[in-house]
Chains A and B, each alone.
Chain A
Amino acid sequence: MTSAHQFCTFYLDHLLFGVESQKIQEVVTYRELRPVPLAPPAVSGLMNLRGQVVVALDLRRQLELPARPREMTPVCLVVRAAGGTVCLLADEVGNVVEVEDETFEPSPETLSARLRSVILGVHKLEEQLMHVLDTDQACEVQAEGQA
């Protein structure tokens, strides 16, 4: 393992999150989503990404954060997850940051098990804590009745 990692950062409800930058295929502006009736709650809809139909998941929902205010337009982080390309909706994108292993600390036990599987831990940046997301887990949707 190399000690320096590059993270793409973004904000959700004023919290800073980071995803390993090589997992991010691209960041695109929000476009109209096609809602999918009967879909799990985290599925915000389907997006046309240059001819490819991609599922958009609301990260706020995935991370059990309060719903995004109506007037806020999210951004779409297109990530390559284990199950294919998925679009994650975040509030706003931040900078690309480089961090060292030393600043990392795993999630505390007090976090729920589900959240601990998604939030691997935090990097203690100077300004604020950056939550490190497991992209594959963040793209997993709790099936009905499983929660």
Chain B
Amino acid sequence: MEDSDDIVKEFLVESYENLDRLDRELIKLENSPDDRELLAGIFRTIHTIKGTSGFLAFEKLGAVAHAGESLLGRLRDGQLRLDGEITTALLATVDAIRQMLASVETTNGEGERDDSELIARLTRLQRAPEVVGQSAEDPAEGALEEPVPNIGDLLIERAGVTAAEVVQAAEQQKEGDPRHMGEILVERGAARPADVVEALRVQQAAGGQAASDSGVGRSNDRGNDRSVDRTIRLDVSLLDQLMNLVGELVLARNQILQFANSTEDSGLLATSQRLNLITSELQEGVMKTRMQPIGNIWSKFPRTVRDLALGCGKRVRVEMEGKETELDKTLIEAIKDPLTHLVRNSVDHGIERPEVRQAAGKDPEGRLSLRAFHEGGQVNIEIADDGGGLDQERIRNKAVQKGLISAEQAGRLSDREIVNLVFMPGFSTAEKVTNVSGRGVGMDVVKTHIEKIGGTVDLQSKPGQGVMVRMKIPLTLAIIPALIVTSAGERYAVPQVNLLELVGMSGEQARKGIESIHGAPVYRLRGRLLPLVHLKNALRTQMNSGADPVRLVPGQVSPDSVSIVVLEADGRQFGLVVDEINDTEEIVVKPLGQHLKTISVYAGATIMGDGKVALILDVVGLAQCASILAEGREHAPGGDAQVATESEAEKQNLVLFTGRAGARMAVPLNLLARLENIPGDEVERSGNQWVTQYRGQILPLIRVTHALEERRHLGPGDDVLLLPTTAALQVLVLENEGHSFGLVVNEILDIVESRLEPQSPATRAGVLYSSVIAERVTELLDVSALLRAGEQYEPEAAAKG
């Protein structure tokens, strides 16, 4: 029985596809009832279902399909004109067939159902308004009999040839006329040669090799939509697996390329080049397999909207823009239900009844528009209606009444915040429960669903003008072109959509190009001031204490070259200062997972050609993060008058480092000239001091632990000042009152922005006080005291040495 199971399975898959198409086509047909081609297509689809169900002995299914087909036949023959009632009946037929198929799928039987009412309705409609004698031919003589989109039919449909003439011509053929139908008709003057040629072309396009056949020749009735034949269904997990394998292949390819380039073997070189090309194409292809246009789910909406609108006596027109916008398959699945819910909501609650609309001076037909587009590395989907908008007062009252917010809170909320209350759990404004929405499980479920896939939902409402819900869906697994930049030795990807231009400066220009307005860096871009965000600062100032600190690169304090990436986010421009601009690349966006999702500055991660992971920056999040920080500075708590007047000093950039035994210490960044790595063998002894030659000067070096009182604990035998090794020394070059000296530290940890609040007094000389910086107790060093301590120390060391 396996064979027959397979046939049934194939029948189901094919029929589901066909039914989905029928939904769409019937709605289209309702809007243009004279489109004969469309009608013929619908007829053929239903006919196929009927034929196959007859073959597979699904009698009820066959009966319903037959009734629907007969009605369609009347329509096709022009004996009936499609109206709303007929459309509804036909859609009901589609639904009935779909239900039976579902039942076949699960139970192998058509289920206990009685469709006699539907069949009666379809039959009754057939008889409407004037019954022309000639009954619709039953095209289902044999179970597998296919309809014949033959030349005759085509000519009737397209060229206005009468059925009677075709019948006569066919008769003539039967009587032995060897000529083709078209020829006979042309000869009889019933059709123009051009029409016949056109009909033949259509027939051929419809996949009929039978085009040149005689009029009774058959063609493939599914031929109108041949893409059906060219698609297969796959398990998405298989694609995931393929995707990962291709990723591995890319890495292997990269290694082979490197290897091949280092050999002289021209054969290997050529082969590896080919491997390179093939891999790239394969990668691209596999990535594309997961992408689907959003139109795939939108296509169901016209039907949904029609049924709903009819149910509540409204008229709604659906407009779609950006159907081709592609999203990852899993995302498409994930947003399907929320989108459907929003669409239903708009029709049920948003758009008013025609008479209300007319009274308000609006088109009685409401408009529901769906828009999708890529922006900022995300897919934006907007569902807008031109209905009455949300009643803010009612939402406010309802929210208070339901105890979701307090009355006092409600008074403080902005209009926009009020309307977004509908996303709170347990909120529903519908006064009566309809079969559509208003069961209290509504918008909050939409929100949870969207947030689960890392998206956001926002609602805007204008009283009397409608509601717009905007979803932003991340582009998981989408391929985007991106600019690769380097900051602090790590690569980041900036989505190309946000990119406006690149500015590079070097030498003198680099030092002078960046100016500042009260501490905020700016750059003059063609006469206009462009606010700047240092990527390093943006990624660090917020840094949660104790996170693995990003190593400081020596020499970064006054750079010799500056690269600015000019970006646009939410209509605002800003410059992102990075260390280096590398290249543009097509990257695959990978989600960051739950641990990092909350960090707004990242849109995801990607794997670079060398197999290393790079982070993708979220330009909008980055801009927000930077401006939030700016806001934070403006609204710095000003309770303490002294703090308020010294707001500059209050929050300072500090260099964090460790001294002996990992003790954490900090000095203000503004006292720091540079960070240097000085190789051990460049350290020399000058008199009683350790020094190094630095920029044409002699720079005294002091080890931080020795400059502090710790020296007391050292035994006399220790080479207390410095223990030169071949290893590089990490040195902070400090400048104070015209003197500079190098402070040798164990390890430079980080630069942080922190408020300086003495939390405990100093326990030793050379320390101003201890404070909690980055959640760790840190000693703030007194640089001038250190200098003095260092000086005092030297003779002592000399005496001992």
A-to-B contact residues, CB < 8 Å? 32-41, 43-48, 50-55, 57, 83-84, 86, 141, 143-144
The 8 Å CB contact of B548, one of A32, A35, A51, is A35
Selected interface stretch from B63-71, B124-132, B539-547 = B539-547
Cα distance A141–B547 when bound, in Å? 13
The 8 Å CB contact of B613, one of A44, A46, A141, is A46
The 8 Å CB contact of B246, one of A46, A51, A53, is A51
CB contact under 8 A between A35 and B543, given known A51-B247, A53-B605: no
CB contact under 8 A between A48 and B601, given known A37-B540, A83-B593: no
Inter-chain contact A51/B244, CB cutoff 8 Å: yes
B residues 584-638 touching A (CB-CB < 8 Å): 590-596, 598-599, 601-602, 605-607, 611-615
- Other than A50-B247, A51-B244, A52-B244, give 6 A-B pairs with Cβ distance below 8 A: A37-B539, A38-B542, A43-B547, A51-B607, A83-B594, A86-B593
CB contact under 8 A between A47 and B595, given known A38-B544, A38-B547, A38-B601: no
CB contact under 8 A between A37 and B596, given known A50-B244, A50-B248, A51-B248: no
Inter-chain contact A36/B544, CB cutoff 8 Å: no
Set of chain A residues within 8 Å of B595, measured between Cβ atoms: 39-40, 43, 55, 57, 83, 86, 141
Contact with A along B411-426 (1 / 0, CB 8 A): 0000000000000000
Inter-chain contact A39/B244, CB cutoff 8 Å: no
Inter-chain contact A39/B599, CB cutoff 8 Å: yes
Q: Return the chain B residue nearest A54 by Cβ.
A: B593
CB contact under 8 A between A41 and B613, given known A50-B247, A53-B605, A84-B594: no
Interchain nearest-CB distance for A55 vs B (Å): 5
Contact with A along B114-156 (1 / 0, CB 8 A): 0000000000000000000000000000000000000000000
Output the residue of B243, B590, B593, B598 with the most chain A CB within 10 A.
B593
Cβ of B490 under 8 Å from chain A: yes
Task: List 30 A-B residue pairs with CB atoms under 8 Å apart, sorted by A's residue number.
Answer: A34-B605, A34-B613, A34-B614, A34-B615, A36-B596, A36-B599, A37-B540, A38-B539, A38-B599, A39-B544, A39-B547, A39-B596, A40-B544, A40-B595, A41-B545, A41-B547, A43-B547, A45-B613, A46-B592, A46-B613, A46-B615, A48-B612, A50-B248, A51-B245, A51-B607, A53-B591, A54-B593, A55-B596, A83-B594, A143-B598
Inter-chain contact A44/B548, CB cutoff 8 Å: yes
Cα distance A34–B539 when bound, in Å? 14
Q: Return the chain B residue nearest A84 by Cβ.
A: B593
Cα distance A40–B601 when bound, in Å? 14
Interchain nearest-CB distance for A147 vs B (Å): 10
The 8 Å CB contact of B550, one of A37, A48, A141, is A37
Set of chain A residues within 8 Å of B540, measured between Cβ atoms: 37-38
Inter-chain contact A35/B590, CB cutoff 8 Å: no
Cα distance A63–B158 when bound, in Å? 77
Q: Return the chain B residue nearest A57 by Cβ.
A: B595
Cα distance A46–B248 when bound, in Å? 17
Cα distance A39–B607 when bound, in Å? 19
Q: Shortest 8 CB-CB distances between A and B: which pairs?
A: A51-B247, A37-B539, A34-B613, A51-B244, A83-B594, A53-B590, A41-B546, A53-B605
Set of chain A residues within 8 Å of B244, measured between Cβ atoms: 50-52
Cα distance A38–B485 when bound, in Å? 18
Interchain nearest-CB distance for A60 vs B (Å): 12
Set of chain A residues within 8 Å of B611, measured between Cβ atoms: 48
Interchain nearest-CB distance for B64 vs A (Å): 46
Cα distance A25–B186 when bound, in Å? 74
Cα distance A51–B245 when bound, in Å? 8
Interchain nearest-CB distance for B549 vs A (Å): 9
Cα distance A35–B543 when bound, in Å? 12
Set of chain B residues within 8 Å of A36, measured between Cβ atoms: 596, 599, 602, 615
Contact with A along B169-180 (1 / 0, CB 8 A): 000000000000
Set of chain B residues within 8 Å of A84, measured between Cβ atoms: 593-594
Inter-chain contact B613/A47, CB cutoff 8 Å: yes
Q: Return the chain B residue nearest A32 by Cβ.
A: B612
Interchain nearest-CB distance for B338 vs A (Å): 21
Contact with A along B353-374 (1 / 0, CB 8 A): 0000000000000000000000
Set of chain B residues within 8 Å of A54, measured between Cβ atoms: 593
Contact with A along B511-550 (1 / 0, CB 8 A): 0000000000000000000000000000110111111101
Set of chain A residues within 8 Å of B606, measured between Cβ atoms: 53
Cα distance A133–B394 when bound, in Å? 50
Interchain nearest-CB distance for A128 vs B (Å): 29
Cα distance A143–B721 when bound, in Å? 44
B residues 14-69 touching A (CB-CB < 8 Å): none
Inter-chain contact B590/A40, CB cutoff 8 Å: no
Cα distance A51–B612 when bound, in Å? 10
Cα distance A35–B247 when bound, in Å? 21
Inter-chain contact A35/B612, CB cutoff 8 Å: no
CB contact under 8 A between A40 and B605, given known A32-B612, A50-B247, A55-B596: no
